[in-house]
């Protein structure tokens, strides 16, 4: 039986009856099974579950990084799962931010250039906004450094600033503290929460970290491709 989460008039993101199957050799594996979920504007939602439960796959579907086999994802009333890649690219640049476990910084760009990259791609340069976020993540002394000159915590703080530079409606983070020690993990998550509070962005985080889950407005637990709580 699939648990259907209640809809909300304030829902920013809504997913309805999502299904996703992957093919491995001759086998078909059902990864996401009839999932319904909503995220309200400004809400902090954590998705938890054991490895293989489908949480990262679900995050990719919610973030329009992958298409579901069936079901719909809507962001601010627009159905993402029916758009082509060009239209989705515009929405990702304008309305979404992304933070990944492995940072995904561009190695030939400085801290400032990495943070500015989403604005440059969208042809909306904003040097003041970049400066504001560099100071917010306490990397003013590193603005001209390349990623290979940074610690893991500094790289992830750069990634957090990059995710928020375009003032997205929603930020998706997949195990954002997974490669960090406890001190840096706590710093990065507090930073995400502080910036989310200032910007009003919704935050959806996949994590195994129970301490992080304690900070969330709501925790969703997955098991075998389904939401169980």
13-40: pLDDT as tens digits: 999 999 999 888 888 889 999 999 999 9
Of the candidates 224, 200, 219, 147, the one whose C-alpha atom is nearest the C-alpha of residue 41 is 200
Who contacts 72 (Cβ-Cβ below 8 Å, separation ≥6)? 15, 16, 17, 18, 79, 80, 81, 82
For tokens 């796959």, what's the residue?
Answer: 57
> For residue 143, what is the DSSP state?
T
pLDDT tens for 187-209 read 888 888 888 888 889 999 999 88
Residues 79-138: tens digit of each pLDDT: 998 899 999 989 998 899 999 888 899 999 999 999 999 999 888 999 999 999 999 999
> Can you say how many angstroms the Cα of residue 125 is from the centroid of all Cα atoms in its chain?
22
The sign of the dihedral angle between the CA atoms of 128, 132, 137, 139 is positive
Residue 64 near residue 13, CB atoms below 8 Å: no
Q: What is the mean pLDDT of the chain?
A: 90
The pLDDT value given to residue 3: 37
How far is Cα 128 from Cα 82, in angstroms, rounded to an integer? 36
- So what's the pLDDT on residue 79? 94
Whether the pLDDT of residue 10 is over 70: the answer is: no
What percent of the chain stands above pLDDT 90? 69
Domains in the chain, CATH or no CATH each: 11-227 (3.40.50.300)
pTM over 0.85: yes
Neighbours of 30 (CB within 10 A): 15
Question: Closest by alpha carbon to 113, among 94, 93, 82, 134?
Answer: 134
pLDDT of residue 2: 36
Is it the case that residue 156 has pLDDT exceeding 50? Answer: yes
What DSSP character marks residue 169?
Answer: S
Which residue, among 142, 138, 137, 94, has the nearest Cα to 118 in the 3D structure?
Answer: 94
């Amino acid at each position: 039986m699939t648990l259907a989460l209640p809809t909300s008039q304030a829902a920013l993101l809504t997913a309805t009856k999502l299904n996703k199957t992957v093919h491995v050799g001759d086998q078909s594996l059902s990864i996401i099974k009839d999932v319904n979920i909503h995220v309200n504007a400004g809400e902090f939602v954590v998705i938890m579950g054991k490895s293989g439960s489908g949480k990262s796959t679900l995050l990719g579907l919610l973030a329009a990084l992958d298409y579901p086999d069936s079901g719909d994802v809507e962001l601010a009333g627009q159905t993402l799962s029916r758009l082509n890649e060009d239209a989705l690219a515009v929405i990702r640049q304008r309305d979404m931010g992304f933070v990944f476990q492995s940072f995904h910084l561009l190695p030939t760009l400085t801290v400032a250039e990495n943070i500015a990259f989403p604005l440059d791609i969208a042809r909306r340069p904003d040097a003041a906004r970049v400066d504001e976020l560099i100071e917010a993540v306490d990397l003013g002394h590193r603005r001209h450094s390349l990623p290979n000159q940074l610690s893991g915590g500094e790289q992830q703080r750069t990634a957090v600033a990059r995710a928020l530079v375009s003032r997205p409606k929603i930020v998706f983070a997949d195990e954002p503290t997974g490669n960090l020690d406890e001190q840096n993990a706590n710093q990065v998550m507090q930073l995400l929460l502080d910036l989310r509070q200032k910007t009003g962005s919704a935050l959806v985080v996949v994590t195994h970290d129970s301490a992080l889950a304690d900070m969330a407005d709501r925790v969703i637990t997955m098991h075998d491709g389904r939401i169980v709580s």
